[in-house]
Amino acid sequence: MKRVLIGVVLLFVLADVRAEELSKEGLENLKKAAQKVADAQKNQDHKAMLESVPPKLIEMLGGKEKFIETLENIAKEFEKQKVKINKVTTADPVSITKGSDGWYAFVPFHLELTVDGKSIKSSSYLLSFSPDDGKTWQMVDTSGVKTLKEAQKMFPNYPEKLAIPKPPKE
């Protein structure tokens, strides 16, 4: 009888346990935030980029002014080397995971460049984090984040079991 009672209790507990899902609004906000990053990248809108990255990254680069200066220097170098960003696109988010401090997701991110007259395609992911249930998102390109340790520099509570994916296919 005791076993049956334990079994019934377990059944009720397990029936009530379900994986948390990001809200529809949170998912839409994630997609919009990723598109904002794509547009900022294409248009070299450094202030918009500043609003989208994790505060830790800004801190690591020496503050807001230094962050913008770094982006401006990269843009000048692109111009000098005849690099033109032609197209930047995103795709539907993957690996949406609830961590101890918020939501994490990866958004496929594709760049089409012209370098000295030659077309080049590059793909990566935007590692995305929302501390407020999907209302706002912070993002960083995973081409510069390859390991758990690197992810945790920007997102200290990044889930240890959340693998950083290999670059997506075009």
Residue 6, phi then psi, degrees to nearest 5:
-65, -40
On whether the CB atoms of residues 91 and 111 are closer than 8 A, the answer is no
Report the distance separating Cα 43 and Cα 74, nearest Å. Answer: 13
pLDDT tens, residue by residue, 83-140: 888 899 899 999 999 999 999 999 999 989 888 888 989 899 999 999 999 999 999 9
Report the distance separating Cα 95 and Cα 145, nearest Å. Answer: 16
Report the distance separating Cα 28 and Cα 12, nearest Å. Answer: 33
pLDDT the model gives residue 83: 87
Task: Give residue 145's pLDDT band: very low, low, confident or very high (50, 70, 90).
Answer: confident
DSSP state, residue 156: T
pLDDT tens, residue by residue, 57-92: 889 889 999 988 988 998 888 888 888 888 998 999
Amino acid at 99: G
- State pTM to two decimals: 0.80
User: Per-domain residue ranges for the chain?
Assistant: 20-154
Average pLDDT, the chain: 84
pLDDT above 90: residue 28: yes
Which token pair is 147?
């390991």
Report the distance separating Cα 68 and Cα 53, nearest Å. Answer: 12
Architecture of domain 20-154: Roll (3.10)
On whether the CB atoms of residues 37 and 136 are closer than 8 A, the answer is no
On whether the CB atoms of residues 126 and 143 are closer than 8 A, the answer is no
Task: Give residue 170's pLDDT band: very low, low, confident or very high (50, 70, 90).
Answer: low
With tokens 């209790």, the residue in question is 9
3-state secondary structure at position 29: helix
pLDDT above 80: residue 15: no
H helix intervals, the chain: 2-16, 24-43, 46-52, 55-60, 64-80, 148-154
